[in-house]
Amino acid sequence: MMAKRDGIAARWAQLRSAIRRHRWPVAGGVCVVALLGVWALWPTEPPPRARQYLEFTACLLAGARGIAEPAAGPVWGGMQEASRATRAKVQYLAVVGPQTADNAAPFLASLAQGRCDLVFVAGEGPIAAVPTIAGRFPGARFYAVGGAAARNVSTLDGSDSARLRAEVARIVADAARAADR
């Protein structure tokens, strides 16, 4: 029995000696295997999906309540619908402060200057600013929910929200497709 213990002790001594001699390469190998395991099991995120927009922008100028304005909501809905169908960019801006033509004019002018291919206008103040601003930007195309028509201004009937939304979607989609050619 004693010989058996001496044999086990001798083997254990040999194993400890081998571990001491090769501990750095073994430790390095264990670290490499651990890192490869972590890398292989690391959760991957899907690549971000960037939407490629057309070089076309439709803009909406709304009253103080923005797209919550009764006439602006259907217009914005139609613009978004057309954007999904054509990849046209859409944006809106709300007039801050008094809802007068004088106060709304700079907001409307910024949209006309800001490369908006179509400018939709809804709300009392914004519509009151259209005659002044549309005359200064003859190359821009304006659509006013109510108001008066002019050379570069078309009027839209806001009495039926569903019809207004569909008409705006058609106008934006047609113009975006024409610009994409």
Establish if 5 belongs to a structural domain.
no
Q: Which domain holds residue 95?
A: 57-180
Instruction: Say if residue 1's pLDDT is above 60.
Output: no
Are the C-beta atoms of residues 132 and 146 closer than 8 Å to each other?
A: no
Question: Based on the structure, what is the number of domains in the chain?
Answer: 1
Distance of alpha carbon 112 from alpha carbon 134, whole angstroms = 8
Q: Is residue 39 one of the residues assigned to a domain?
A: no
pLDDT (tens digit per residue) in 126-144: 999 999 999 899 888 999 9
Residue 15 lies in a domain: no
Q: Would 14 be classed as within a structural domain?
A: no
Whether residue 40 lies inside any domain: the answer is no
- Evaluate whether residue 148 is within a structural domain: yes
The CATH number assigned to the domain holding 93 equals 3.40.50.2300
Can you give the three-state secondary structure of 25-91, one letter per residue? HHHHHHHHHHHHHHHHHCCCCCCCCCCCCCCCEEEEEECCCHHHCCCHHHHHHHHHHHHHHHCCEEE
- Overall pTM > 0.75: no
Q: For 18-56, how does the pLDDT look when each residue is reduced to its tens digit (9 = 90+)?
A: 777 766 776 777 777 777 777 777 777 777 777 777 889
Whether the pLDDT of residue 113 is over 60: the answer is yes
CA distance 139 to 155: 17
